[in-house]
Amino acid sequence: MIHPKFKKIAAGLLAVSLLLSNSICAKADDRADRIAEHQAMPIQSNEIAGWPAGPVVSAESAILIEADSGTILYSKNIHQHEYPASTTKILTALLAYENSSMNETVTFSHDDVFKTPRNSNHIAMNPGDSLTMEQCLNALLIRSANEVAYAIAAHVGGSWDKFAEMMNDRARELGAVDSNFVNPNGLPDENHVTSAYDLAMIGRAFFSCETLCKITMTPKLIIPKKKEDLIEWNQMALIPTGKYAYEYLVGCKTGYTDSAHSALVSCAEKNGLRLICVVLNDENPEHNEDTIALFEYGFGNFEKINVSQKETKYDIDHIGFFYNNTDIFGTGQPILSLNKEDCVILPKSASFSDLKSDITYDGLEAGQAALITYTFHNVPVGTVSVNLASHDQNYTFEREEPSASPDAQDNSKLQKTKEEKKAPSFIFISPVLIKSILAVLAAGAVLFAIFCYLRRNFQFSFGGVLRSSRFNSAHRQSSLRNPRHDHRAQIREAKRRARRRSSRKFNRKG
């Protein structure tokens, strides 16, 4: 016979287990509903004519871009406000790297430690403890330690609030348009928001830093402690030791809170094509699967095209000026040339001739004469700069000297050298220069016409009197008809009269 006391305990345990079971089932149902809802959302990039259809993902917001050009390959609610959770830390790490040295000492304050929720990620630092900035960045990106983020913010910005201002300023500089950062770690705050687009723009700067990328790929974190070193393993699943290891991964940063759900910002590179992927308000492990699917979509459907190798002709403002092999001064060298490194990103099913281009003269950097923006069905796919010849360091025009020992020549290396020294196959004549020349020529033609008209119809006296050439012509005709008005005729007439008078006098004397 069971004692009544044990019956009560058993009943209590059964009630708790039922509550937990119901809670788990409710959460599972909510999770399934969110995934279904997110998967049903439209993918904006799929609406572009001729654009490869992208995969269905469980994230509410997702973006895939090419890192160098910023070309958007996949877009789903990319400007929707989302909670970034710990993906915030890529901006914190970037600011720390840009504004401090790796051997600086960062000391933890009371607020850094005790205002960090104990149920959040941390490395158990105490007030007064110190780490180098390098150790802080490792703890921030590998363990996602929140008290470390606070300590970095105070060290770099002077205070958390000033560091938040730095975060927002730097985000705008990098092209962010939707974000408002209020803390350095992404802990829940209704005013701390971003978007997939903004994190991709920030990611372009973050993943361009080899040091920060290597930290995110490090499998183990070791923090020296007085009693015993702290050892933490990198839990991000995309790194080489992770469950979803992705062979082309360059770097990544995960994030999670109850309100943000799962978030992941990552970068991968294959065959010279570097892609950045952001998924927000996703689930676990779907955020890893979605990221891999998007990377495979990008690598499988797009290619990088060097513009200088494809562009052969450019119609400037539709006035018929084209590229050619000789510049307008006949030197045989380019006045301007396309940047040899600039590329566009194209669907593999499209060709370079499918692109439309537009030339602008705004926002130029030193040595640039113009910018040409290429679009595919109104989608920007890249920009190439038109550089002044004096600033183009990629071209030389020296004659190649033959090798002293023909037997020692490496044909492949020789061919590569020739290609590097080869001048660009075309030049670009700026419409500003063309229009200026045409204006000068037109003005000169008008002045010449006026001069010819005046020269034909008028003559100028040294006394400043302007006489009509028609008047002068009539005067000459009149002189021919009336000898008295002609000076030479008057002289001849005077001589005849003198001879007559002389003849009369001679006759009288005779």
Question: pLDDT tens across 95-154, in order?
Answer: 999 999 999 999 999 999 999 999 999 999 999 999 999 999 999 999 999 999 999 999
Tokens 């770690």 — which residue? 185
Closest CA to 255 of 223, 222, 279: 279
Question: So what's the pLDDT on residue 225?
Answer: 86
The CATH topology of domain 53-301 is Beta-lactamase (3.40.710)
pLDDT at 433 over 50: yes
Question: So what's the pLDDT on residue 3?
Answer: 60
Phi, psi angles (nearest 5°) of residue 228: -150, 135
pTM exceeding the 0.85 threshold for the entire prediction: no
Q: Which of 213-222, 359-368, 420-429 has the lowest mean pLDDT?
A: 420-429
Residues in the chain, total:
510
pLDDT at 473 over 90: no
d(CA 254, CA 283): 12
pLDDT at 441 over 70: yes
Strands (E), 362-481: 368-376, 379-388, 458-460, 466-468
d(CA 86, CA 297): 26
pLDDT at 474 over 80: no
More confident residue, 333 or 453: 453
Question: pLDDT tens across 235-282, in order?
Answer: 999 999 999 999 999 999 999 999 999 999 999 999 999 999 999 999
Q: Please report which confidence band the pLDDT of residue 291 belongs to, taking 50, 70 and 90 as the band edges.
A: very high
By annotation, the residues acting in catalysis are 86, 89, 144
Question: So what's the pLDDT on residue 44?
Answer: 98
Question: pLDDT tens across 20-46, in order?
Answer: 555 556 667 889 999 999 999 999 999
Tokens 């000297």 — which residue? 401
| Residue 408 CB burial class (10 angstroms; 0-12, 13-18, ≥19) | exposed
Question: So what's the pLDDT on residue 461?
Answer: 47
d(CA 311, CA 425): 10
Tokens 């003849």 — which residue? 503
For the chain, the distance separating the N- and C-terminal CA atoms, rounded to the nearest angstrom, is 197
Q: Which of 136-145, 308-317, 475-484, 500-509 has the lowest mean pLDDT?
A: 475-484
Question: pLDDT tens across 181-218, in order?
Answer: 999 999 999 999 999 999 999 999 999 999 999 999 99
Structure tokens at 265: 């910002």
pLDDT above 70 as % of the chain: 72
Looking at the DSSP bridge assignments, the partners of residue 468 are: 458
Domain boundaries of the chain, sorted by first residue: 53-301, 311-400+409-429, 461-509
